[in-house]
Structure formats: C-alpha cells, structure tokens
C-alpha cells in the first residue's frame, strides 16, 4: 500500500466515496442498464483519479472497490480495489484528465436517447432553453472510435476542447460528459439525456425552431452565474 501524505489520503477517501455514490445516480436517472456506463473523479491535489471496476454490478459498488489510477490509467498496486480490472473506458477517462486539467470528473452512459443521436451521428441542435442554460449551445458529435486505446479519449478532447458543451455524443457509441468534478459531470449526463429525449420527440412532430445565438449566450450566462443559490459551485 503506497504511503500517501495524510492530505492526499483524505482526498482519495473522499473521492472514492463520492464516485461510488454517484454511480447510483446513473441508475436513479435510468442512464444505464446492467453494468454499462461509468463515473470517474480526479483526486484533488494529486495526479490520480478514481473509477469503477469493469463489469461489476452497480448494486455491489462501494468506496472500497473503486479503483485508484494514475493519469496513464494504471491502477495503483496495493490500493483497495486494485485486485480487479478498472473500467474498460479507463484509458478514455485518463486521456481527458491528462489533456484537460480543468476537468475533475468524467461520465460515460448508454442513455437511450443520447445513444439514438449517436447512432445517427447527429449533433443535438440548441432549440430549447434548457440546452442553452446547461450546454450553451448544441451538443456535438465526436468521431466513431473503437475502445482499447486513446481513440475515444482523443475524440472527446478534440471535440470538447474550447466548446461550451460539457457533453459529447460519440458516434455509434453514446454520451461522454465532463465537469469540474464528478457530480458536475453526472449532472451533465442527466441533462444531456433529458434534452436528447425532448428534442428527439419534438423533431418527430415537426420542424425545430433554432434559438438566436445572442439569446443562447444570455441564457447560458444567466444560468451559469445566477441560477440557484449564490453559494452554489460555479464553473
């Protein structure tokens, strides 16, 4: 077991607990089935992150079986949970953390409407104020990428770097979201599926009405800086 300084040990423990808890939110909001999807959280103050073990039932996830990884995606030997394999998307999460230092959390889901947009390789247009609020514009599509190397992570970073959206729909695969922390990334995943469903249904019924860019900007700035309580986390 590595001998981390107390400050880092405490941060690891808090991140383990938060990431384990947040996986239940994916189930609560119907964003995953069986063992699909995954949540990770960067450990504040360390080049480390925590992610779920691969293929383990959400019912069995706990802080102690989360896996502590370095930013190359390697499990830290001798740490709780390291006897199992980390998520099959660990390389993608690690790539995001290495290349987007402002990101504190990454989420992947197979949420139904988000994956339906992925199957069409279509960007979700910004036609409802909820999208302007949360994503500041359309939700972009990332390239088709096969799991197993940095391809998915590179596609996420190349699509989202410099983009307001905290979500990307990876073609033929599904949503990945980022956030200032794991909870922020989970919120983005929840809101992505909500707007994916609404816009899909709206488009089935008739033509969509775009929101003018200046109104999108105004909505985004209000929501990001004024919505909720003054003590709320702000990006």
Ligand X SMILES: O=C(CO)[C@@H](O)[C@@H](O)COP(=O)(O)O
Would you count residue 80 as binding ligand X (CB under 6 A)?
no
Would you count residue 143 as binding ligand X (CB under 6 A)?
no
Q: How far is the CB of 134 from ligand X (least distance, A)?
A: 23
**How many residues of this chain interact with ligand X, rule: CB under 6 A?**
13
Residue 108 is a catalytic residue: yes
Which of 211, 22, 201 has its CA nearest to residue 109? 22
What are the angstrom distances between the C-alpha of 99 and each of 92, 135, 157, 206, 217? 11, 21, 7, 40, 26
Per the CB < 8 A criterion, the answer to whether 137 and 216 are in contact is yes
Return d(Cα 139, Cα 116) in angstroms, integer: 13
Using CB under 6 A, which of 4, 8, 25, 35 touches ligand X?
35
Contact letters (x/-) for ligand X, 160-199, by CB under 6 A?
----------------------------------------
For residue 146, give every residue at least 6 positions away whose Cβ sits within 8 Å of its Cβ, in sequence order, or none.
Answer: 152
Residue 173 is a catalytic residue: yes
Q: For ligand X, which is the closer residue by CB, 69 or 128? A: 69
Looking at the chain, how many residues does it have?
235
Would you count residue 218 as binding ligand X (CB under 6 A)?
no
Would you count residue 114 as binding ligand X (CB under 6 A)?
no
Return d(Cα 162, Cα 139) in angstroms, integer: 13
Would you count residue 54 as binding ligand X (CB under 6 A)?
yes
Q: For ligand X, which is the closer residue by CB, 11 or 32? A: 32
Using CB under 6 A, which of 2, 45, 55, 210 touches ligand X?
55
Of 94-113, binders to ligand X (CB under 6 A) are 108, 110
Annotated catalytic residue: which of 23, 93, 108, 184?
A: 108
Residue 110 is a catalytic residue: yes
Strand ranges (E), the chain: 38-42, 48-51, 67-70, 105-108, 141-142, 167-170, 174-179
β-pairing, 141-142 vs 167-170, is parallel
Of 144-163, binders to ligand X (CB under 6 A) are 147
Residue 200 is a catalytic residue: no
**Interface contacts to ligand X, rule CB under 6 A:** 35-38, 52, 54-55, 87-89, 108, 110, 147
């Amino acid at each position: 077991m590595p001998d981390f300084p107390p400050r880092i040990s405490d941060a690891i423990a808090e991140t383990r607990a938060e990431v384990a808890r947040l996986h239940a939110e994916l189930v609560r909001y119907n964003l995953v089935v069986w063992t699909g999807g995954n949540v990770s959280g960067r450990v504040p103050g360390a080049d480390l992150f925590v992610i779920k073990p691969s293929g383990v039932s959400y019912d069995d996830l706990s802080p102690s079986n989360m896996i502590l990884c370095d930013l190359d995606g390697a499990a830290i030997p001798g740490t709780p949970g390291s006897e199992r394999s980390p998520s099959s998307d660990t390389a993608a999460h690690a790539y995001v953390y290495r290349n987007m230092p402002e990101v504190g959390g990454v989420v992947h889901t197979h949420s139904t409407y988000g994956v339906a947009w992925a199957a069409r390789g279509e960007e979700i247009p910004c036609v409802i104020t909820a999208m302007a609020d949360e994503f500041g514009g359309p939700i972009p599509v990332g390239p088709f990428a096969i799991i197993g190397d940095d391809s998915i992570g590179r596609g996420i970073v190349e699509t989202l770097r410099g983009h307001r959206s905290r979500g990307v729909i990876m073609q033929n695969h599904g949503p990945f979201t980022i956030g200032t922390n794991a909870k922020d990334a989970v919120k983005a995943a929840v809101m992505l599926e909500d707007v994916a469903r609404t816009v899909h249904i709206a488009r089935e019924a008739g033509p969509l009405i775009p929101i003018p860019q200046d109104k999108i900007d105004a909505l985004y700035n209000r929501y990001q800086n004024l919505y909720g309580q003054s003590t709320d986390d702000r990006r």
